[in-house]
Amino acid sequence: MRLNQKTAIITGATSGMGKAMAERFVSEGASVILSGRDENRGKDLERNLTQKGGKAFFVAGDISHISVNEALVKAAIHNFGKLDIVVTNAGKLGLGSVTNISVEKWNETICTNLNSVFYLSRFAIPEMQKNGKGVILANSSIAAFKSFPNHAAYCASKAALVALVKEMALDYGPTIRVNTICPGPVNTPMIWDSAKAFAEPDTIVQQTANNTLMKRLGEPEDIASLALFLVSDEASWITGSAYTIDGGILVK
């Protein structure tokens, strides 16, 4: 039980990688605040986890609004008494190039992918400081390092996350460890949305899988394994780092 007695917030817990992380963290003893907009998927996950004896509580809301982030931290303290771990995993693609994305869509994407991390950290850090310890893990992307056509706001927000995390590690160490993970193509609904930017989505996803050195897409559980390690005490000397987890696709 690597997360016994720990309380975590996971954003984007209603789908894909966030859901896999929630299941993994709860199975390792953590009490988890689940965040997402979809009430049905969020409540279903809360029910599944609690029926198995785990501790989980779903809070619905759009994390691009600052008040929702404050509510997540309050829910952690109210339900579980403290806050040890925050995983800022929720993200949005916001497809488009600089000339064809609307200003509204650009702002929504930056707010969801970047501002929300600023907001949630702002409320979470004082609570972690009260415990004298805490961990923040942000889900970025290989898009921080490699460009993808028609992903202007996505690439910009994910690169900014890597820089923000290093800066936060500097400001809040040694009390709080702050890291990012940078996944490659992972088998979640988002990869299919991303493929829509290309003429033949099925072919592009298959080619992408073949382009990895491991010849497959990542599975949400692959990412949950790395996240679990990085938020656990086994990673107590790791801070300010960005971890690529991409089946080797960036090597090419």
- The contact set with ligand NAP (CB under 6 A) reads 11-12, 14-18, 36-38, 41, 62-64, 89-92, 112, 139, 141, 183, 185-186, 188-191
State the nearest-atom distance from the C-beta of 45 to ligand NAP, in Å: 10
Among the listed residues 61, 72, 64, 67, the one whose alpha carbon sits nearest the alpha carbon of residue 124: 72
Between 6 and 92, name the residue whose CB sits nearer to ligand NAP: 92
State the nearest-atom distance from the C-beta of 131 to ligand NAP, in Å: 26
Identify the sign of the CA torsion 153, 154, 155, 159.
positive
State the nearest-atom distance from the C-beta of 35 to ligand NAP, in Å: 6
Beta bridge partners of 57: 33
Q: What DSSP assignment string belongs to 103-170? A: HHHHHHHHIIIIIHHHHHHHHHHHHHHHHT-EEEEEE--GGGTS--TTBHHHHHHHHHHHHHHHHHHH
User: Could you say which DSSP state residue 102 is in?
Assistant: -
Between 60 and 77, name the residue whose CB sits nearer to ligand NAP: 60
- Catalytic: 154? yes
Between 131 and 158, name the residue whose CB sits nearer to ligand NAP: 158
Between 11 and 121, name the residue whose CB sits nearer to ligand NAP: 11
Q: How many residues does the chain have?
A: 252
User: Could you say which DSSP state residue 12 is in?
Assistant: T
State the nearest-atom distance from the C-beta of 31 to ligand NAP, in Å: 19
Catalytic residues: 154
